Structure 1
Amino acid sequence: MSEQALPLPASGRWRRPLPGFGLGLGIGLTWLGLIVLLPLAALILRSGGLGWAGWARAISDSRVIASLKVSFGASLIAAIAALLFGALIAWVLVRYRFPGRRLMDALVDLPFALPTAVAGITLAAIYDENGWIGQLVKPFGIQLVNNFTGIVIALIFVGLPFAVRTVQPVLEALGREQEEAAISLGASRLTTLRRVILPELLPALLTGFSLAFARALGEFGSVIFISGNLPWKTEIAPMLITIRLEEDGGVPAAIVLATLLLLMSFACLLAINAASTLFAHGNRRDG
């Protein structure tokens, strides 16, 4: 059956139900500027007004350096763990059908909906030495709260959904045709994973890692209940920002620390996005 041409309006031009590109772009940029860019710009300008002396004085503080080490170290470990477990969960959800699959898929988004303070209290209760998991590892001398391990656990909890949701749609679009072709040509499972699947997943893996890392770097609510907040030991940078704001004369140090976390998160996202773009262009040239 041949397609029938739809009648054009009297003007001879189609009228889209949504605003055109110019108006839509203007509205989008306006809201983006008011909600995101303007507050961030105000923070950067305020920190720039402190001068190099103010920055050096705030960054050279031993407590600030210790909190940055804790935040960056725990965020890096948590992002790697979230990426590994998230990719595995995405693989199971996409490639297998089993009872409770829909429930498992819905539970992945639970950290998005759960208030971070509630998550922190729940994790602390479970992993405490009297909790369900804490009492199982207590006889082995393992402590999971009020230390660096507790911080990593909380950050994995909040970062895991980012890894799953970035890898899952790529796996769904990938299908099984390429794997079956590689197997039919005699490739082993390891070779198929390394030469067929991973190259397609690498941009999504990088994106999931960067999102999990940036989210963990700024996490506050779920960490303070499980870390113990010990200065120079388990105190994260966002917690120190709150402490500095409550101190007399501590606002400049809080502004510098907040700006530093902002710049680090933005640099991480920018670097990962650039790497993903370069990798995608390389794949297209190879193809």
Structure 2
Amino acid sequence: MNVTAKTVRRGTLPGFGLTMGYTVLYLSLVVLIPLAALLFNSTGLTLSKLWDVATDPRVLASYRVSLSTAAAAALADGVLGLLLAWVLARYRFPGKRIFDALIDLPFALPTAVAGVSLTALYSANGWIGSRLEPLGLKIAYTPLGITLALMFIGIPFVVRTVQPVLEDMERDTEEAAATLGAGRWRIFRKVILPELIPPLLTGFALAFARGIGEYGSVVFISGNMPMRTEIAPLLIMSKLEQYDYAGATAVAMLLLLISFLMILVINLLQRWAHNRSR
């Protein structure tokens, strides 16, 4: 009888020790060991060299371009992703499944293909760029083109985090608010939006993190002009091609530190929004 009770207490699922061991193993192989390799490669990097790299105008300009365009693209994806998720979750229309599948296309499409396609569209000789160029609006080889490329890459992160929340959301509260005389905008602002803030912050963080390190889709449309459209990942590749491993490591470490701090702040905001909504 004691054996039966012990068996019932253990259950059929693996215990904490086994699952925690596999979790730490996979986390080490995927995340911790590559980061440790980055630190080991920086053993020949002195503090003076790190400071020289960190204060180099070209490096600072690349950080500015990467962070500003990634943030702008993530904010735009937050708005557009919310609209797309709302349409997919609340409405039925012909071709909905095809439309839903197209949202995941940036996940499967090679980033280099996306970069070439966007450049062909928005360059001076492209289908769209040739019509915008006479109006004084240049997209390719500008920060605006980089932002559009990052929006294309990051939009699925927002849609796929917000859509399940909208689909699982109870309609009773909205109907009760409507019967009490609340308008559509007030129902959205007071009832729906508080539930969507945590997934929106999650989608923003994912799109922002992807945008900071994106290379393939940006390298073609950016033009790679130093101090103007050169992104930090491209600068790392340039230093590696010049066998400047210490400089590449320094740029990578600083970019990693900035990304970690910004994602940490976003996660804290997400937890605060989640606790407030509860």
Tell me whether the two structures share a fold, i.e. TM-score over 0.5.
yes
Matches of 2:222 and 2:52, distance apart in 1: 27
1:125 matched to which residue of 2?
A: 120
1:215-269 deviations in Å (ceiling 9; x for gaps): 0000000001111101111100000000011114x21111111112222222222
Q: CA deviation at 1:48?
A: 6.5
1:151-209 deviations in Å (ceiling 9; x for gaps): 11101011111111111111111132222111111112221111111111011111111
TM-score normalised by length of structure 1: 0.90
Matches of 2:108 and 2:11, distance apart in 1: 35
Choose the corresponding residue for 2:107, options 112, 118, 133. 112
- Describe the SS at the equivalent of 2:50: helix
2:66 matched to which residue of 1?
A: 71
Q: Percent identity?
A: 52
Structure 1: gaps (5+ residues) = 1-7
1:146 is the counterpart of 2:163: no
Choose the corresponding residue for 1:232, options 227, 236, 244. 227
Letter in 2 for 1:89: L
1:276 is the counterpart of 2:270: yes
Choose the corresponding residue for 1:165, options 152, 160, 165. 160
1:188 matched to which residue of 2?
A: 183
Matches of 2:248 and 2:198, distance apart in 1: 35
2:208 matched to which residue of 1?
A: 213
- Count of equivalent residues: 276
Matches of 2:266 and 2:54, distance apart in 1: 26
TM-score normalised by length of structure 2: 0.93
Q: CA deviation at 1:16?
A: 5.4
Matches of 1:106 and 1:95, distance apart in 2: 16
1:3 matched to which residue of 2?
A: none
Question: Which runs of structure 2 are paired with 1:85-104 in the superposition (5 Å)?
Answer: 85-104=80-99
Matches of 1:265 and 1:112, distance apart in 2: 21
Matches of 2:174 and 2:269, distance apart in 1: 25
Larger mean Cα displacement after TM superposition, 271-280 or 52-61 = 271-280
Question: Which runs of structure 2 are paired with 1:190-205 in the superposition (5 Å)?
Answer: 190-205=185-200
Q: Answer yes or no: is the 8 Å Cα contact 2:215–2:234 preserved in 1.
A: yes
- Describe the SS at the equivalent of 2:220: helix
Pairwise CA RMSD: 1.9
1:4 matched to which residue of 2?
A: none
Larger mean Cα displacement after TM superposition, 271-280 or 100-109 = 271-280
Letter in 2 for 1:184: T
1:60 matched to which residue of 2?
A: 55
Q: Does the C-alpha gap of structure 1 residues 182 and 117 become closer, same or farther in structure 2, counting only changes over 3 Å?
A: same
1:34-57 deviations in Å (ceiling 9; x for gaps): 221111122135446523212111
